[in-house]
Chains A and B, each alone.
Chain A
Amino acid sequence: MKQNWRIDIDEVPGEGTAFNPSTVTVAPGDLVFWRNNTNTAHQPVATPSPPDWQVGEIPGRQPAFPDDPSPTSGTVSFAGTGTFAYICALHPNETGTIIVKAPSS
């Protein structure tokens, strides 16, 4: 069964904002998406230019409504294996890596 892999975007006290986890290992065909738990917008995008992929901007949570669910992104799916780096298009210092590995390897 394919899996969905959620990467949270969290505020880390004293360190700023980060993808959590910063590296995930998935199988070809799995879906990856991001959940934004911060109050500002973020937008994961592949680092090659032009980017191979990007998801749309994910709005931040609204502090006035803490019970509302965190906004999430669309999904990215990888057919081939490899290591794929990405950043936040709005905050390029935020970095992450997706490793796509065949289940048997």
Chain B
Amino acid sequence: MDMTARNVATDTVTPATRHLRRSWCPVTRSARRQFLRRSLVITIGAALSVPGPSMLLAADPQPGPTCPATNPTFTAVPTISSHGSGTLQAVITVRSGTRNVPTAAGSPKTPAVLRYFSGYEADPTYEWPAKTSADARPGPTLSAEIGDVVHITLLNHVKLDDFPGTFDSGEQGIGCDQGTTLAKNGTPDPNRYPFKDKYPNCFHGSSSANIHFHGTHVTPSTTGDNVLVNVRPNPSVTEADVKEYFGQIFKSCKLGEEPRTWAQLPHGWTDSDKNPKSQKNLLIHYDRTAPYVGPGRNPDGHGLPPELQLWPQNQLAITNGIWPQWYSGSYPYCFQIPRYTEDKKDKAYVKMGQAPGTHWYHSHKHGSTSINLFNGLAGAFIITDTSPTGYDGMLRAFYKNTDLKLKQQVLVLQQITNVLNMLSATGGGAPPLLVNGELTPTITMQPGEVQLWRIVNATVQNFVNLQPPGSAATAANSIQFKQTAQDGVQYDFKNYIKPQNGTTAINMAPANRVDLLVQAPTTEGCYQLNYGSTPPGTALVNVTVTGKAVSMGFPTADDSTKYPPMPPFLADIEPADIRLRRDLTYGATKDPTTTDKRAWQFTIDGKQFQDQVINQVMLLDSAEEWTVYNSDTLSGVRHPFHIHVNPFQIVEVFDPTNKSVTIDPQTGLPEVQRPGPPYIWWDTFAIPAPVQLKAGQKCPSRVVDDGTNKWCSGYFKMRSRFADFTGQYVQHCHLLAHEDRGMMQLLEVVTDKTILKHH
């Protein structure tokens, strides 16, 4: 055997992980089952984008003759589209392998083993990323029209033995990933990960997968945007193995009959004894053979103890009419993207349609969302309305007779790495911000050209502050932009034409999306769209402006009839419609036994995510107003709040840290901001951080006393309608390590016919 040293550095990358269902977890089987059903995660909220005069920044352009040839060319990610057929069909596979990742400008890419999405529509020949390339890329862009049915075959082909300590490798019966660390030259580190973290609110189970369709208004149950399912890796399961069965499921979905019970799924895929690759047989095989050396081990170190086995948990769920959580190798996603109609007699009538816009998809399993997105498991999901009065139809029509038609660019922002800092002995700096897998790529435009840029912040923890043109900028010498949508929901015309639009910074929290009409300067040269906390910032992309000048422009205040009208379901939620008001508080607590920051616990309403606890129950089709506080006086960060399924409108913000807002003489603190109607829709909004109160200041928000100082919490107030879909889903912090470590709540939307059972 060749015993020469191999550079295994390119072989493996993942934090050691243990999965949710280990004996370390002192919960009952029922409790575990309950948790497993819920163990998905949610996304975050966007940063404050209520226009404020202080957000005006001065980044004067510094055009150069040409963009540096050393910068990579912008990579347009291929799109899998429904092509007007009414059905978006795709096979998405979670793969693992060595990918090349930019780490610094001017340096060669660094190889690292990562998990990543690949996908194709029908012919694997056209799979993206192509097998001939090893560059790290987002998954393929998905594109569908509202009203379409989505059929996605998910395959999980992660190679477990390339990753250390994932849940069916070397199980020690602990439940959380472990970092075994030598602090310095052999001194043992008693504080190695998981340190104070406890299952299930710790990093674990990193090779399991599912897909969250972030921003969609679809069912959170069964084969919809169901982040409670957990698809174990199994490379032996191929598309051919499931194609016939999934075809039957997809056919039913197309007819509007999405599966509601396990029994409605094809027997051959679910619990057939004859098919060796039925879910029953695959899970039983895993239960019998998985490496396990925890309590109750078998002599050979294989086979799970009964209380940890997966198939019995599924069986119990099925018996109780609950959608089972565990799958091996494959899962069928099928759901309809609702098109709003005012005809209440229409079979497809919904109170909230899907907002057409820039959405995205990503892996969303509790305990591994952060490492999975750090690996790059994300892609854009563009939902269009090309009807004559739709968002896309109107924008395209506006540019129909200009020199160029409106071209679209999709920019997926990511930070790629293979190791979580908490699992390493040395920590490390933040990875660079990549655009479609490249560091500061170059986009080429013609002088004066307008393009629609759809930007997705798919990073784990990076607030991206897009810089506006500087005060001396002109259309001749600077990139101009106008925002047309936030988080996949279009701007009302009245918001679009506000003078702040295009002149103030746009702060994108992790998970936020923005649509920008971007206009190239009329003078040829190299320009930058910058980001950063202070101007001029760092170049996100270079733009080479070259070629024939074209006449295009933005819709102006005179173009109200040419700008996409707001669909009726996106009208403001009026105060009279509010059924219930409730408060939520994001916070953090210390462990009294240590000063180590790694022991901080991130909580909502004082608690971490809990088994068997539904934290909020909302009535179907009702509207509510939530005030969401940030009382985290430890980390002092903005926590991006995200909720699945339904977007919300921000009606009030108090940011005590915002130095650009006028000081309220009554409080001595920044004024409470009330942007006024029409309100902007979001699905992720960063809760402003608290400040320490000074003498004479009167906090208009919740006061937190940490025993030494008093703090004034930041907050926002939002209104949302829990429309059309019952079921369980989550709200959580979209700083995804916080979500993995417990900053999440389980929600349920119920009808007034629901009988709540007492447990």
Instruction: Point out residues on A near B: beta carbons under 8 Å.
Output: 1-7, 10, 12-13, 18, 20-24, 26, 28-31, 33, 35-36, 41, 46, 48, 52-60, 62, 65, 67-82, 84
Tell me if A41 and B301 are in contact (CB < 8 A).
yes
Tell me if A30 and B423 are in contact (CB < 8 A).
no
Tell me whether A77 and B423 are in contact in the complex, defined as CB-CB below 8 angstroms, given that A4-B113, A48-B186 are known contacts: yes
- Cβ of B95 within 8 Å of any chain A Cβ, yes or no, is no
Q: Which chain B residue lies CB-closest to A65?
A: B289
Residues of chain B from 1 to 30 with CB closer than 8 A to chain A in the complex: 1, 3-6, 8-16
- B98 to chain A minimum Cβ distance, whole angstroms, is 11
Q: Given the complex, which residues of B lie within 8 Å of A3, measured CB to CB?
A: 9-10, 13, 112, 418-419
Tell me if A6 and B8 are in contact (CB < 8 A).
yes
Tell me if B9 and A53 are in contact (CB < 8 A).
no
- A45 to chain B minimum Cβ distance, whole angstroms, is 11
- B438 to chain A minimum Cβ distance, whole angstroms, is 16
Docked Cα-Cα span, A99 to B179, in Å, equals 18
Q: Which of A13, A28, A48, A71 contacts B291 (CB 8 A)?
A: A71
Tell me if A6 and B293 are in contact (CB < 8 A).
no
Tell me whether A79 and B183 are in contact in the complex, defined as CB-CB below 8 angstroms, given that A21-B3, A31-B423 are known contacts: yes
Tell me if B293 and A29 are in contact (CB < 8 A).
no
List 23 A-B pairs, Cβ < 8 Å.
A2-B419, A2-B424, A4-B13, A6-B164, A13-B1, A28-B425, A28-B426, A29-B427, A33-B164, A53-B182, A55-B180, A58-B291, A60-B301, A62-B300, A69-B161, A69-B168, A72-B160, A72-B164, A74-B178, A77-B426, A79-B425, A79-B426, A82-B186
Tell me if B110 and A1 are in contact (CB < 8 A).
yes
* Size of interface on B: residues with Cβ below 8 Å to A: 64
- Cβ of B188 within 8 Å of any chain A Cβ, yes or no, is yes
Q: Given the complex, which residues of A lie within 8 Å of B60, measured CB to CB?
A: none
Q: Which of B15, B160, B302 contacts A31 (CB 8 A)?
A: B15
Docked Cα-Cα span, A55 to B714, in Å, equals 44
Q: Given the complex, which residues of B lie within 8 Å of A7, measured CB to CB?
A: 8
Residue picked from A5, A55, A57, A71, most chain B C-beta under 10 Å: A71
Tell me if A1 and B417 are in contact (CB < 8 A).
yes
Q: Given the complex, which residues of A lie within 8 Å of B185, measured CB to CB?
A: 80-82
Tell me if A80 and B12 are in contact (CB < 8 A).
no
Tell me whether A4 and B14 are in contact in the complex, defined as CB-CB below 8 angstroms, given that A22-B3, A59-B293, A72-B160 are known contacts: yes
Main SS class of interface, B: loop
Q: Which chain A residue lies CB-closest to B286?
A: A68
Q: Given the complex, which residues of B lie within 8 Å of A77, measured CB to CB?
A: 179-182, 192, 423-426
Tell me whether A24 and B300 are in contact in the complex, defined as CB-CB below 8 angstroms, given that A53-B182, A72-B160 are known contacts: no
Instruction: Point out residues on B near A: beta carbons under 8 Å.
Output: 1, 3-6, 8-16, 101, 103, 110, 112-113, 159-166, 168-170, 172, 177-189, 192, 236, 285, 289, 291-293, 300-302, 417-419, 423-428, 431
- A50 to chain B minimum Cβ distance, whole angstroms, is 9
Q: Given the complex, which residues of A lie within 8 Å of B177, measured CB to CB?
A: 74
Residue picked from B13, B110, B168, B170, most chain A C-beta under 10 Å: B170
Q: Given the complex, which residues of A lie within 8 Å of B103, measured CB to CB?
A: 1
Q: Given the complex, which residues of A lie within 8 Å of B424, measured CB to CB?
A: 2, 29-31, 77
Tell me if A59 and B170 are in contact (CB < 8 A).
yes
Q: Which of A13, A33, A79 contacts B182 (CB 8 A)?
A: A79
Tell me whether A31 and B170 are in contact in the complex, defined as CB-CB below 8 angstroms, given that A6-B8, A21-B5, A70-B161 are known contacts: no
Docked Cα-Cα span, A22 to B192, in Å, equals 25
Docked Cα-Cα span, A102 to B186, in Å, equals 16
Docked Cα-Cα span, A5 to B170, in Å, equals 16
Q: A3-B112, A81-B185 are in contact. List 19 more A-B contacts (CB 8 A).
A: A3-B9, A3-B10, A5-B9, A21-B4, A26-B9, A31-B419, A36-B170, A57-B172, A59-B291, A59-B293, A67-B236, A69-B159, A71-B161, A72-B163, A73-B164, A76-B180, A76-B181, A77-B181, A79-B183
Q: Which of B172, B427, B428 contacts A74 (CB 8 A)?
A: B172
Q: Given the complex, which residues of B lie within 8 Å of A78, measured CB to CB?
A: 181-182, 425
Q: Which of A59, A70, A73, A80 contacts B292 (CB 8 A)?
A: A59
Q: Given the complex, which residues of B lie within 8 Å of A4, measured CB to CB?
A: 8-9, 11-14, 113, 163-164, 418-419
Tell me if B300 and A59 are in contact (CB < 8 A).
yes
Tell me if B183 and A80 are in contact (CB < 8 A).
yes
Q: Which chain B residue lies CB-closest to A7?
A: B8
Q: Which chain B residue lies CB-closest to A98?
A: B182
Q: Given the complex, which residues of A lie within 8 Å of B113, measured CB to CB?
A: 4
- A56 to chain B minimum Cβ distance, whole angstroms, is 4
Tell me whether A72 and B11 are in contact in the complex, defined as CB-CB below 8 angstroms, given that A4-B113, A12-B1, A57-B293 are known contacts: no
Docked Cα-Cα span, A72 to B160, in Å, equals 8
Q: Given the complex, which residues of B lie within 8 Å of A54, measured CB to CB?
A: 180
Tell me if A75 and B165 are in contact (CB < 8 A).
yes
Tell me whether A1 and B418 are in contact in the complex, defined as CB-CB below 8 angstroms, given that A21-B5, A75-B423 are known contacts: yes
Tell me if A56 and B172 are in contact (CB < 8 A).
yes
Docked Cα-Cα span, A55 to B170, in Å, equals 9
Tell me if B11 and A80 are in contact (CB < 8 A).
no
Q: Given the complex, which residues of A lie within 8 Å of B9, measured CB to CB?
A: 3-5, 26, 30
Give the top 3 A-B pairs by smallest Cβ distance, nearest first. Answer: A59-B301, A29-B426, A33-B164
Residue picked from A6, A12, A23, A26, most chain B C-beta under 10 Å: A6
- B10 to chain A minimum Cβ distance, whole angstroms, is 8
Q: Given the complex, which residues of A lie within 8 Å of B417, measured CB to CB?
A: 1-2
Tell me if A69 and B160 are in contact (CB < 8 A).
yes
Q: Which chain B residue lies CB-closest to A51?
A: B188
Q: Which chain B residue lies CB-closest to A41?
A: B301
Q: Given the complex, which residues of B lie within 8 Å of A29, measured CB to CB?
A: 419, 424-428
Q: Given the complex, which residues of B lie within 8 Å of A22, measured CB to CB?
A: 3
Tell me if B165 and A74 are in contact (CB < 8 A).
yes
Docked Cα-Cα span, A28 to B188, in Å, equals 15
Q: Which chain B residue lies CB-closest to A57?
A: B293
Q: Given the complex, which residues of A lie within 8 Å of B165, measured CB to CB?
A: 33, 72-75
Residue picked from B159, B164, B292, B431, most chain A C-beta under 10 Å: B164
Q: Which chain A residue lies CB-closest to B103?
A: A1
Docked Cα-Cα span, A72 to B168, in Å, equals 9
Tell me if B418 and A79 are in contact (CB < 8 A).
no
Q: Which of B161, B163, B179, B431 contacts A1 (CB 8 A)?
A: B431
Q: Given the complex, which residues of B lie within 8 Å of A62, measured CB to CB?
A: 289, 300, 302
Q: Which chain A residue lies CB-closest to B294?
A: A56
Tell me if A74 and B184 are in contact (CB < 8 A).
no
- A38 to chain B minimum Cβ distance, whole angstroms, is 12
- A78 to chain B minimum Cβ distance, whole angstroms, is 5
Tell me if A76 and B426 are in contact (CB < 8 A).
no
Docked Cα-Cα span, A52 to B181, in Å, equals 9
- B49 to chain A minimum Cβ distance, whole angstroms, is 32
Q: Which of B1, B181, B289 contacts A79 (CB 8 A)?
A: B181
Docked Cα-Cα span, A11 to B159, in Å, equals 21
Tell me if B425 and A74 are in contact (CB < 8 A).
no
Q: Given the complex, which residues of B lie within 8 Å of A35, measured CB to CB?
A: 161
Docked Cα-Cα span, A3 to B14, in Å, equals 9
Q: Given the complex, which residues of B lie within 8 Å of A13, measured CB to CB?
A: 1
- B138 to chain A minimum Cβ distance, whole angstroms, is 18
Tell me if A6 and B1 are in contact (CB < 8 A).
no
